[in-house]
Amino acid sequence: MIAATPAATNSSSSYNSNDLRRTIFAWTLLIAFVAFIYATLGSLPAARDWLELHYGKGIFATVTYLGAGFGVAWVLAYLIFRKKERRLVPYLSLVFIGLFLRHAMQNWITIPVEQVHFIEYGGVGFLSYHALKHHLRGWGLIAAAFLLSYLFGTIDETLQGNIPVRVGAQQDMYWNGLAAAMGLWVVVMSLRPVQIKSKSGHREATVSLTIIALCLPVQGYFNLDVAQFGHLINDPERLVTFRSRSAPEELQTYDDKLDDFKKLSAQLGRVRMVELLPQVHDRTHEEALVHIFRRGYHNRLGHNFIVFKEDLIIDGYFHQFVESTMFDYPRERSSQLSEALADTAAWPYESPVAEHLITKFSSAQMWLVIAMLEAGILAAIVRIKRKIPSSPLRKRGP
C-alpha cells in the first residue's frame, strides 16, 4: 500500500474546502435574492409611487429596463473578458433574449411592478442553476433549476395573495416560470457550462421529483386561500355569466354591513381601487365593488356593451349594494343602452370579475388528487433509490 504524500493530502483538502465555500456562497446568494424579492413585495408599489412623484411617470419603467440591461451587460462582459468567447451563437442568444424580453414587457407584462418581478425571476432561474450545479449534472440539472425557480414563484404568488397592495394570480406563476426559463436559456446557450454536457442520472430525477412534491401543497394552499373556490353563475335570461364565491340565491339575499359598503364605495373615482380593496368587509363586498368599478370605468370609455351587461349583473345580484346610492342606475338608463346596442344587446357576456375562482372542481377533489400525486412521487423516488440488481451474465458457449 502506498501512503498519500503530504502534498497530495493538502491539495485534496484545499480542493474540498474551496468547493464547499463555492457551494455555500451559491446557495446563500440564491436564498438572499429570493428573500429580498419576498421582503419587497409589499413595499414595491410604494417605491414606484415615490419615484414617479419625484422623477416623473416614466422613471420606474426606465429603472426596470436599466436593471435588465445590467444583467445582459454582465453576461456579455463575462463572455468577452473572462471566457474570451469567439463563437457567434452565445452572442446571438443574448440578442434573442433581449428582443424577447422587450416584446414580453411591451405586450404581455405591461404593469411596471410586474415587469420588475419578471426580471427578478430571470435572476432566480440563473442563480438556481448556479446553486444546483454543485450537486447535479446534465439536462436534469436544468430541469431541477427550472422547477426550483417555479417553486419560489409559487410561494411568491401565495404571499402576494395575502398582501393588501398586491394580487396573487395563477397566471403570474406562469410568467415567473417563463422568466426563469429565460435565465436558464442564457446559461445553456450563452455560457454553455461543462456541467450540462454530462449525463443525468438518478440523483437529478430524485431532486426534480422532490421539488414537484413541494410545489403541490403550495399550489393547493394557493387554490384554497388565494384563488379560492366558487360558483360559475350562468343567467340565460340576462345572457350573462360571472363567477362568485356565493351561490346566486346567497348573493341576492346578502345583507351584511351594507351601510359600510356604501360609505366605502362612495370614494370610487376619488381613491384608487388598490387603496379601497384592503378596506372591504369580505370577499362578497369585494366582488360587488369590482363590478361597480368595472361598469363605471367602461362607461367613461364609452364601451356601452360592457356597461349594459355589468349593469344587468349588478341589478340582478348586487342591487342591495347600490340601492339608494349614486351607483343605482335607473332602469331607463338600462333601456337606453339596450336600444342603442340593438341586436348587440342579445350577445352573451362573461364578466372577468373574480375569474380566478376555481369552479370546475371542489377543494376535497383537489386535495385527493394532490395526495394521489404525492403518493406516486414517493413511490417513484423509492423506486429510483432502490438498488437495481445486476442481470446475471450469460454463459458463453463452448
Please tell me whether residues 64 and 200 are part of one structural domain: yes
According to the model, what pLDDT value does residue 11 have?
Answer: 44
Structural domain includes residue 260:
yes
Please tell me whether residues 321 and 207 are part of one structural domain: no
Task: Give the span between the Cα atoms of 255 and 98, in whole angstroms.
Answer: 53
According to the model, what pLDDT value does residue 238 have?
Answer: 95
**5: pLDDT strictly greater than 60:** no
pLDDT (average), residues 215-236: 95
Structural domain includes residue 126:
yes
The three cell numbers locating residue 52: 414617479
**367: pLDDT strictly greater than 90:** yes
Please tell me whether residues 196 and 127 are part of one structural domain: yes
Question: Into how many domains does the chain fold?
Answer: 2
**57: pLDDT strictly greater than 90:** no
Average pLDDT of the chain, as a whole number: 90
Please tell me whether residues 177 and 246 are part of one structural domain: no
Q: Which phi and psi (to 5°) does residue 274 adopt?
A: -60, -25
Structural domain includes residue 265:
yes
pLDDT (average), residues 301-326: 96
**2: pLDDT strictly greater than 90:** no
Question: Last residue of some domain: 203, 223, 243?
Answer: 223
Structural domain includes residue 375:
no
pLDDT tens for 123-132 read 999 999 999 9
**9: pLDDT strictly greater than 70:** no
Question: Last residue of some domain: 192, 223, 254?
Answer: 223
Q: Which phi and psi (to 5°) does residue 330 adopt?
A: -65, 150
According to the model, what pLDDT value does residue 387 have?
Answer: 63
Structural domain for 121, as ranges: 22-223
Please tell me whether residues 56 and 97 are part of one structural domain: yes
Please tell me whether residues 191 and 70 are part of one structural domain: yes
Please tell me whether residues 54 and 177 are part of one structural domain: yes
**331: pLDDT strictly greater than 90:** no
Structural domain includes residue 16:
no
pLDDT tens for 132-177 read 999 999 999 999 999 999 999 999 999 999 887 788 889 999 999 9
Please tell me whether residues 215 and 235 are part of one structural domain: no
Q: Which residue has the higher pLDDT, 180 or 388?
A: 180
Task: Kindly report whether the global pTM for this prediction surpasses the value 0.75.
Answer: yes
According to the model, what pLDDT value does residue 272 have?
Answer: 84
Please tell me whether residues 79 and 141 are part of one structural domain: yes
Burial class (CB in 10 A: 0-12, 13-18, 19+), 259: exposed
Roughly what angle, to the nearest 10 degrees, separates helices 202-221 and 363-385?
A: 170
Please tell me whether residues 149 and 276 are part of one structural domain: no
pLDDT tens for 183-219 read 999 999 999 888 888 899 999 999 999 999 999 999 9
Structural domain includes residue 356:
no
According to the model, what pLDDT value does residue 393 have?
Answer: 44
pLDDT (average), residues 240-265: 95
Residue 21: how many CB atoms within 10 A of its CB? Answer: 10
pLDDT (average), residues 1-30: 69
Please tell me whether residues 36 and 160 are part of one structural domain: yes
Structural domain includes residue 168:
yes
CA 201 to chain centre: 30
Structural domain includes residue 364:
no
Per-position DSSP letters for 90-158, written without gaps between them: HHHHHHHHHHHHHHHHHHT--SHHHHHHHHHHHHHHHHHHHHHTTT--HHHHHHHHHHHHHHHHHHHHH
Please tell me whether residues 99 and 212 are part of one structural domain: yes
